[in-house]
Structure 1
Amino acid sequence: MPILNEIHEMLNRCILMKRNCKVFPIMVAILLLTLSIIPPIIGATAVNCEKKPPAALQAGGWPMYRRDPQHTGFTGDAGPTTNQTAWSYATGDAVTSSPAVVNDRVYVGSFDKRVYCLDAATGDVVW
């Protein structure tokens, strides 16, 4: 009765596959749940969420994009009294970012893959 044995084996395979089709999604769900819960527990550390007041800005300084951590772009400094360019400097390629002005130095990055440090008063290269 080899034919009956083959039919019996085919039926067993079908039953096993149906059982696997039900068990597999459950196993995947358990695995995903475990992977999402365990790492935060293992890597949990205390975090100080206390908001610190912004550092006082030097008069005339512009150390970051839009001047301060809140990016207000506001300064209480008086603007220029004349409409004259004080100085200019040509870098090796385009400059699309804002310069940073700190301690009488102007720092500017260029698409020529360089960062320039210039004297804020004269525009001379510092480095």
Structure 2
Amino acid sequence: MIMINYLVNRMDFQMASFITSGLLVIIGLYGVFFVDNVLKKIIALEILGSGVNLALIAIGYNGGTIPIKLPGVSVEVFAKESAYPLTHALVLTNIVIEASMLAVMLGVSIILYKKYKTLRSSVILKED
């Protein structure tokens, strides 16, 4: 218990975000490859995407301020102290793409259920 408290106190926000994103990616990959239900695979893909988004946000974080140049702030100070805005823009784009993909995947899963009367991928992929 003392070791855990020591690690938590020594760990900064960025490292905690990287560890959490790694765990989310591992959980998502496990669900995609080892779970038999199509809906659970879709949920696992969403968890995987959340892990990637968190990793991108952690990459762009530098402990600084928001990436908006406010009046009265010099360009040098702004460039040195603001967060990296490209990764945040990528995350916003990824969220929109994930929402669209989720809608398509759920639509396909409805069609699969109507055709096969099950969502087990082992039954759906079985060749007759």
What TM-score do you get using the length of structure 2 for normalisation? 0.26
Q: Which has the larger radius of gyration?
A: 1
- Determine which structure has greater relative contact order: mean sequence separation of CA pairs < 8 Å that are 6+ residues apart, divided by chain length: 2
* Higher share of residues assigned strand: 1
* Higher share of residues assigned helix: 2
